[in-house]
Amino acid sequence: MRGITPIIAIILLLMITIALVGFAYMFFSGTMESATQAGTAQIEQQINIMGEKFSVDFIDKNTVIIRNTGTTELKNMKFYVDGKEADIMQGPSSVPSGHLGTFTLNLSENTAPSILKISSLGTSKEEIISGKLYNPCDDEKNGFSPKILWDRLSSIDADDSGYIAVDSGNNYILFTYPQNSPIIMKYGKNGSILWNKTFNGSIGYYAGGLAVDSEDNAIATGYGKFGLYYTAKYNPEGVFLWNATYNGGGCDYSGGQDIGIDSDNNIIIVGRNCIEPEFFTIKYNKNGQEIWRRSYDSSSTDFALGVGVDSDNNIIATGSTNNGVTYDYYTIKYDKNGNAMWNRTYDSGGTDRDGRIAVDSGNNVIVTGNGATIKYDSSGNLI
């Protein structure tokens, strides 16, 4: 299983932890519209709202985070609640393209329910986003209020998703790939940067997966334009311990796509080769020595994207196989010695690809992706 679900690296970095404290308000729904159209959408199950120019998280009663997803700098920001301009107690003078801005507003205790409007003087007109604010504590279905404890904005240029893992001390390890040159950063539980390392040091690599073992070592794997699986291990202080490589065929984007750790701190990497066979699994011991490798090949395109480990240290790899028309999920289970226990192909009738995997406490296997979400028991029977 991945160290974390892939999500935008910078959002992961911002909303790193949640405490169930405080009296919070949430910002719900909204689209980038003109002033006359704003405030019409009310989707009360969605917190993040992606607009044409920027997105908004209204995290607590006084804190608003703006992420500028457009190409124009946002400046002269103004915030309105119930038609009245709210004082900005703290915040940047502008939010450049691709950056975030955190604003602290001076709001009264009795602002919900209300309409929040945010304006920025752009190149030609005033853009306004609005939506409904409500108090989740008034709703019996919501017994908590999320609140940001800290956020950190890195200066790295990373537009792709990354991965995050948490160690036993509640420190956070981030793995992302600005300019195709992955880096690993570790943050303390209070948000202080403990260390950062360049992964491999070569241009042309992408982050594939991240995990933390029982000794709080960080293990990362990736893939790149050189067809090389590259896996590296760092101790809790960020000291490089070892790396292991495997040649997946020398073509673009062949390499490690996910990582799993068993109870003995052995490391399992899955990925795609660009030479037959394509669906690939390799197991290393905690010192980086290869234990075994296994592969699957149909008559068409195959690739492994997700791996999970159950309580018996069995390994389940999942991905996709081309059926000649579209893609199906392909899932295979190995015992700890690499012997195949069962394999399953699933066709929802549509395109089933980009599979990810999780293993629950009963060793049931859950596979999801673009097509469907399915569940197998430990023997491979579809539940």
pLDDT tens-digit readout, 85-118: 788 888 888 877 767 777 777 766 544 435 566 6
Residue 217, in any domain of the structure: yes
Same domain, 271 and 135: no
Q: With 80 as the cut, is the pLDDT of residue 13 above it?
A: no
pLDDT-derived band at 345 (thresholds 50, 70, 90) equals very high
Q: With 60 as the cut, is the pLDDT of residue 4 above it?
A: no
Residue 92, in any domain of the structure: yes
Residue 91, in any domain of the structure: yes
Number of domains forming the structure of the chain: 2
Q: Average model confidence (pLDDT) for the chain?
A: 73
98: left (phi over 0), alpha (psi -120 to 50) or beta: left
Q: With 60 as the cut, is the pLDDT of residue 127 above it?
A: no
pLDDT in tens, 360-382: 999 999 998 887 899 999 999 99
Choose the most confident range, by mean pLDDT, from 63-72, 236-245, 271-280. 236-245
Two tokens, residue 214: 């029982």
116 Cβ contact partners less than 8 Å away, ≥ 6 residues apart: 27, 58, 64, 79, 80, 81, 130, 131, 133
Q: With 90 as the cut, is the pLDDT of residue 281 above it?
A: yes
Residue whose structure tokens are 């394509």: 278
Q: Which 8-state DSSP code applies to residue 312?
A: T
Same domain, 174 and 277: yes
Same domain, 112 and 243: no
For residue 98, the domain's CATH number is 2.60.40
Expressed as residue numbers, the domain containing 225 is 161-376
Boundary of a domain, candidates 123, 148, 173 = 148
Q: What's the one-letter identity of residue 32?
A: M
Residue 7, in any domain of the structure: no
pLDDT-derived band at 2 (thresholds 50, 70, 90) equals very low
Same domain, 300 and 334: yes
120 Cβ contact partners less than 8 Å away, ≥ 6 residues apart: 53, 54, 74, 75, 76, 77, 78, 95, 126, 127
Same domain, 185 and 328: yes
Mean pLDDT, residues 291-315 taken together = 90
Q: With 90 as the cut, is the pLDDT of residue 334 above it?
A: yes
How far apart, in whole angstroms, are the C-alpha atoms of residue 371 and residue 374? 10
Boundary of a domain, candidates 148, 171, 196 = 148
Boundary of a domain, candidates 101, 120, 148 = 148
For residue 182, the domain's CATH number is 2.120.10.30
Give 338: exposed, middle or buried? Use CB within 10 Å, 0-12, 13-18, 19+.
Answer: middle
Give 325: exposed, middle or buried? Use CB within 10 Å, 0-12, 13-18, 19+.
Answer: exposed
Residue 61, in any domain of the structure: yes
Residue 382, in any domain of the structure: no
pLDDT in tens, 56-66: 655 555 677 77
Same domain, 355 and 217: yes
Same domain, 171 and 119: no
Same domain, 128 and 173: no
Same domain, 124 and 266: no
How far apart, in whole angstroms, are the C-alpha atoms of residue 234 and residue 40? 50
What pLDDT does 361 receive?
93
203 Cβ contact partners less than 8 Å away, ≥ 6 residues apart: 179, 180, 181
Q: What residues pair up with 234 in beta bridges, in sequence order?
A: 218, 240
Q: How far is CA 104 from the centre of its chain?
A: 27
Mean pLDDT, residues 165-192 taken together = 85
Residue 155, in any domain of the structure: no
Same domain, 207 and 343: yes
How far is CA 129 from each of CA 32, 135, 162, 334, 380, rounded to the nearest angstrom? 5, 20, 28, 51, 48
Same domain, 60 and 134: yes
Residue 272, in any domain of the structure: yes
Output the furthest CA–CA distance in the chain (Å, rounded).
67
Same domain, 210 and 123: no
* CA-wise closest residue to 56 among 112, 95, 4: 95
Q: How far is CA 71 from the centre of its chain?
A: 24
Percent composition of the chain: helix, strand, coil (DSSP 3-state, to 5): 5, 50, 50
Is the pLDDT higher at 258 or at 42? 258
What pLDDT does 45 receive?
23
Q: Structure pTM?
A: 0.64
